[in-house]
Amino acid sequence: MKSLRLVAYATLVAGWVACSAQSENSVLLTGNVPDYQGKGEFILARMGQSDTIPLQADGSFSYEVKNLQKAEEGSLVLNYLKNKKSVHCYLIPGGKLDVKITGADGEITIGDATVPDYKLTAVFTGTGKKESDYLNTPPFYNYVFKNADGTPVTFENYMNQIAEQKQRMHKALEGTCEAFAKEKTAELDLMMNDMEFIYYRRLKNDGNDASKDAGFMAFVNSIDLNDPKVSPYLLIEVIDFRLEQSPDLYKGMDYGIRFFSYLRDNIANKEWAGQVADKRMTQMLSNSDVSGLAKTFELYRTISGKSEEFKENEAIYNSLAKLLPGVKATDFEMQDKEGKIVHFLDVVGKGKVTYIDFWATWCGPCCLEIPFVEKKVEKYKDNPNIEFVSISLDRDKKEWLDKLEKDNSSWQQYIIPDNFESEFAKEYNITFIPRFMLFDKEGKIISIDAPRPSDDEAFEALIAPYVK
């Protein structure tokens, strides 16, 4: 569910906003970037295109962004940095925008591990300053869930934090142009949907029980499942919570059957029930692994109103059903570092289980996983039962080769340069990266949505039966 909210949020963020009626269709973009050592690219990524910005030896630049029909959001991507960091900017036709970017070493947490990270700070001046400042304002994620003594904060305290952060974001919108402020206000409202259950999940992860908080329970009990004005995603959270609190309800059934049975039995409005069911099935299918979902999908079929979303879900389900555990891997062509064509079935099914990492040099989270892949390669280097393979979806083969040379990766490396448009990506429903898969010794699917190497416990649990 979280991923779907993020997709919805990212779609809004990517929108174009007209803030200026100026006739000029270019912006003069100037500034400095940090730690530039004379080589590598600096990219301005915009809606549907990108510009390569030349850098002087000292990291300064001056570049005219042309063919702007209206104001646009952009990302300044520092490709020359190891993990390709970026800052956001707002380009208003006819304006001049200057940005001074500085960098500092920091840390980021992935799974249970803390790894080094490089953080950027941007100072803007000129046309679009306020909007650019807003785009780089940290959003809602810095909540405090524990008191100084380690006890959980109350639900009331948590909701006050949300209100304060929303007020901070609204204040950051002051002075921005009207259309920009209107769109970002709508984004804030979208981000506020279902924030209440973040409290529940976080307390659960910390070993605490949100159901003991009177304020949280009052909120949950106030939700009317039959009210179509309530967010369907919030209703999904409420149903999940109620099922967890009542383990004997629909006892012995799989989660999906329990969920759709509860929905069917507790929402009287069949049209509304169908809409909520569609949203939940969309979430389930986004996980890419439909093993064990056949009976759940048949129950869902009886509840859905056969909407367009149902038709899309049905098509995705039918496609993913070809990728169930035990199905033989489909063959595709890849390239090795020398440009030689290699078949996928020449890599998997060769007497070893094969753990595959799908990634790209431009994907920050992918690059952050590489050290964890390396640790697994080192751990199992003498184990004859497992092989590690990385497959890049980069379009730019040179960037891929440069990254491999810099990292000195010792395991098998291949590239499918058509990005997400390749038949391979479509066949295996690769719509996001990083993505990990596991195939058995005969080349049959074990999982097309395997745990990340940074999730050590889940990773080891998955491969344990195959590496003995």
Burial level of 21, CB count in 10 A (0-12/13-18/19+)? exposed
Q: Give residue 9's pLDDT band: very low, low, confident or very high (50, 70, 90).
A: very low
Could you give the C-alpha distances from 426 to 288, 348, 358, in angstroms and in order?
12, 19, 13
Assigned superfamily of 333-466? Glutaredoxin (3.40.30.10)
Coil/strand/helix, residue 120: strand
Which one, of 188, 196, 202, lies nearest residue 140 by Cα? Answer: 188
Domain boundaries, the chain: 17-136, 247-323, 333-466
Which one, of 54, 72, 71, lies nearest residue 63 by Cα? Answer: 54
Coil/strand/helix, residue 9: helix
Same fold, 17-136 and 333-466: no
Which residue did the predictor score with more confidence, 288 or 320? 320
Which residue did the predictor score with more confidence, 23 or 395? 395
Contacts of 216 (CB under 8 A, 6+ apart): 155, 196, 199, 200, 210
pLDDT value at residue 16: 44
Highest mean pLDDT among 51-55, 136-140, 268-272: 268-272
Which residue did the predictor score with more confidence, 39 or 232? 232
> Quick one: average pLDDT of 69-94?
88
> Quick one: average pLDDT of 363-388?
92
pLDDT value at residue 140: 56
Residue 4 has pLDDT above 70, yes or no: no
17-136 CATH choice from 2.60.40.1120, 2.60.40.10, 2.60.40.420, 3.30.750.24: 2.60.40.1120
Lowest mean pLDDT of 49-53, 120-124, 386-390, name the range: 49-53
Both tokens of 264, joined, read: 């069917």
Hey, what amino acid is at 60? S
End-to-end CA distance of the chain: 35
Contacts of 20 (CB under 8 A, 6+ apart): 70, 71, 92, 93, 94, 95, 177
Residue 452 has pLDDT above 60, yes or no: yes
pLDDT value at residue 74: 92
pLDDT tens column, 287-297? 656 667 889 99
Work out the mean pLDDT of the chain and round it to a whole number: 86
Which residue did the predictor score with more confidence, 114 or 143? 143
pLDDT tens column, 139-164? 655 688 999 999 999 999 999 998 88
Half-sphere CA count of 458, side-chain side, radius 13 A = 12
Hey, what amino acid is at 403? K
Q: CA 284 to CA 297: how far, in whole Å? A: 10
In the chain, the percentage of residues whose pLDDT exceeds 70 is 90
Coil/strand/helix, residue 195: coil
Asked if residues 276 and 236 have their Cβ atoms less than 8 Å apart, the reply is yes
Q: CA 239 to CA 253: how far, in whole Å? A: 15
How many CB atoms sit inside 10 A of residue 409's CB? 16
> Quick one: average pLDDT of 394-398?
86
Residue 44 gets which letter from DSSP?
Answer: E
> Quick one: average pLDDT of 22-51?
81
- 97 φ, ψ to 5°? -130, 125
Q: CA 391 to CA 347: how far, in whole Å? A: 11
pLDDT value at residue 303: 96
Both tokens of 191, joined, read: 């981000």
Asked if residues 128 and 93 have their Cβ atoms less than 8 Å apart, the reply is no
Which residue did the predictor score with more confidence, 404 or 82? 404
What's the angle, vertex CA 142, arms to CA 138 and CA 145, rounded to 5?
170
pLDDT value at residue 319: 81
